[in-house]
Structure 1
Amino acid sequence: MAKITYVEFNGTEHTVDVKPGMTVMEGARDNGIPGIEADCGGACACSTCHVYVPADWSAKIPSMEPMEEDMLDFAYEVKPDQSRLSCQIKVTDDLDGLKVNLPERQI
């Protein structure tokens, strides 16, 4: 299990255990984390699971595929070096302690 912390825009933190093999989005959805809507269910067909990944974690998560990059064009307040779609981040034991920040809203 990896402990992932989701930080709402207002600063409220939610730390949950997420099984390896799941995505960061599935961990949020399955634990009722507010701020991750996941309208497409993880198909990388929307931007409603947008999160900000701190720079010190970017080397530990998979590189962004072109499809994810295209979908981020529709996300709210994209930060080029931090924005990711949480449905595209597979959880591994190496992500234990990951903290992601949520945007003010999802679109």
Structure 2
Amino acid sequence: MPQVHWIMSNGDRVSDDVNDGTNLMDAAQMNGIPGVAGECGGCLSCATCHVYVDEAWLAACPPMDEVENAMLDIVIAPRQSGSRLSCQLVASAALDGIVLHVPD
């Protein structure tokens, strides 16, 4: 099982093993991560699951599609180079150990 690490804006850290194939928005919600609302349920229509992928993990993530890229233009927290919608990131061996920073 891949391990995911969420780092809150106050520095608190939550880590958990996540089943392969689980999107990281669902994993965040299962772990009670504040700030990852996922109001649309992962349908790529609300941008409330915005996270910052740690720079060391950007290359391991799958490329974003045009819809995710457009949705990132409406996020509340400032968009950064590591901005992704966590509903579009899926736990896998390639992302084992990924670090996600949760915007304030």
Normalised to the residue count of structure 2, the TM-score between the two structures is 0.94
For residues 4 and 24 of structure 1, what CA distance do their matches in structure 2 show?
Answer: 8
Instruction: Give the root-mean-square deviation of aligned CA atoms.
Output: 0.9
The residue aligned with 2:78 is: 77
The answer to whether structure 1 residue 27 and structure 2 residue 31 are counterparts is no
The answer to whether structure 1 residue 101 and structure 2 residue 101 are counterparts is yes
CA distances 1:79-106 after superposition (whole Å, capped 9, x unpaired): 0x210000001110121111100111xx
For residues 12 and 29 of structure 1, what CA distance do their matches in structure 2 show?
Answer: 16
The answer to whether structure 1 residue 2 and structure 2 residue 2 are counterparts is yes
For residues 65 and 21 of structure 1, what CA distance do their matches in structure 2 show?
Answer: 18
For residues 54 and 17 of structure 1, what CA distance do their matches in structure 2 show?
Answer: 18
Gaps of 5+ in 1: none
The answer to whether structure 1 residue 18 and structure 2 residue 33 are counterparts is no
Q: Which runs of 4+ in 1 moved over 3 A?
A: none
Q: Give 1:55 deviation, angstroms.
A: 2.0
For residues 30 and 102 of structure 1, what CA distance do their matches in structure 2 show?
Answer: 15
- Aligned to 1:64, the other structure's residue is in SS state coil
For residues 40 and 64 of structure 2, what CA distance do their matches in structure 1 show?
Answer: 18
- Aligned to 2:46, the other structure's residue is in SS state coil
- Aligned to 1:5, the other structure's residue is in SS state strand
The residue aligned with 1:58 is: 58
Aligned length: 103
Q: Give 1:67 deviation, angstroms.
A: 0.4
- Aligned to 2:70, the other structure's residue is in SS state helix
